[in-house]
Structure 1
Amino acid sequence: MQREVHVNEEGNIDLPLPFREDPKKLPNNRQSALNQFYNLQNQLQHKPQMMEEYFQFMKKIMERDQASSVPEDEIDADNAWYLPHFGVYHPKKQQIRVVFNSSAKYNGVSLNDALLQGPDQMNSLLGILLRF
């Protein structure tokens, strides 16, 4: 992991994902992600307002370089993992939230399973009550 850390053109530090083991052991889930995308596409065709907001969100993350298109020569790579996504609305807000589903399983494996878990940032209920 230390070999892959570098500073990008904007001066930000780029870090790789913290994999538990070699990421090349992940199965290529392209077909599963495509099936989920086709379901999303059908859902959006029936909801034009949601489709417009979804496209605007995706356009925004592409413009900010938070996401990019997969190069043609890497589409069927053995060590590729495709992150499925879908949109939801909060009952009290009228803004779409796109969820990138890293817990989606393929052949019994998800991206969350392959990554190291960070520390728990939540305060324990017991600790809160004791401080109160």
Structure 2
Amino acid sequence: MVKKSFTIEFMGISGTPRQNADDLRALEHLEQTAKLIDGQWHVGLPWKDSLCKMPDSERTARIRLRNLERKMSCNTQYAQRYRDRIKHLLDNNFAKEIFDKTKVNKTWYLPHFGVDNPNKNKLRLVFDTAAKT
């Protein structure tokens, strides 16, 4: 009886969560866009507004890239470690180089930078999703 009194159902809470319209739309989007390709799941981004237009982030990303290149030209060891981290992303298909430079409504340039951990002597790439445009 004590064990039963601690169950969620005893308190009047059902075990199935209610779904709002956004949840249902997200599930429908998942079912429509999910594809298993070479053992990896690919899913389309669930935009709230499929017709939205992103602000142009290219200028901000290019400025950040120039600053990163300047830092790399002053510190060749840092530059080599940075190249190694980028190569790791490409080799493991976490990223891919895009050759078609055509912009669409939802083109977004994501600036990144490296952070050194002195305890591990390892460079960590940080993708700055909070960068203001």
Q: Same fold (TM over 0.5)?
A: yes
* Greater RCO, CA 8 A, separation 6+: 1
Aligned position for 1:91 = 118
**Structure 1: runs of 5+ lacking an equivalent:** 107-132
CA drift of 1:79 comes to 2.0
Aligned: 1:67 with 2:95:
yes
Q: Map Cα deviations across residues 47-77 of structure 1 (whole Å, 9 max, x no partner).
A: 1111000001101111111111123242x33
Cα distance in 1 for residues equivalent to 2:128 and 2:83: 18
Moved over 4 A (4+): none
* 1:54 correspondence with 2:82: yes
> In structure 1, how many angstroms separate the alpha carbons of the residues matched to 2:45 and 2:105?
18
Q: Per the alignment, do residues 90 and 73 of structure 1 end up closer, same or farther by CA in structure 2, a change over 3 Å counting?
A: closer
Write the letter of the residue equivalent to 2:56. N
| Residue of 60, 66, 89 corresponding to 1:38 | 66
Distance in 1 (alpha carbons) for counterparts of 2:105 and 2:56: 6
Overall identity of the aligned pairs, in %: 26
2:45 & 2:117 partners in 1: Cα distance? 29
**Cα distance, 1:35–1:90 mapped onto 2, change above 3 Å:** same
Q: Taking structure 2 as the reference length, what is the TM-score of the superposition? A: 0.69
Structure 1 residue 18 displacement after superposition: 4.1
The alignment's TM-score, normalised by the length of structure 1, stands at 0.70
Alignment partner, residue 35 of structure 2: 6
CA radius of gyration, larger in: 2
Secondary structure at the aligned position of 1:86 is classed as: strand
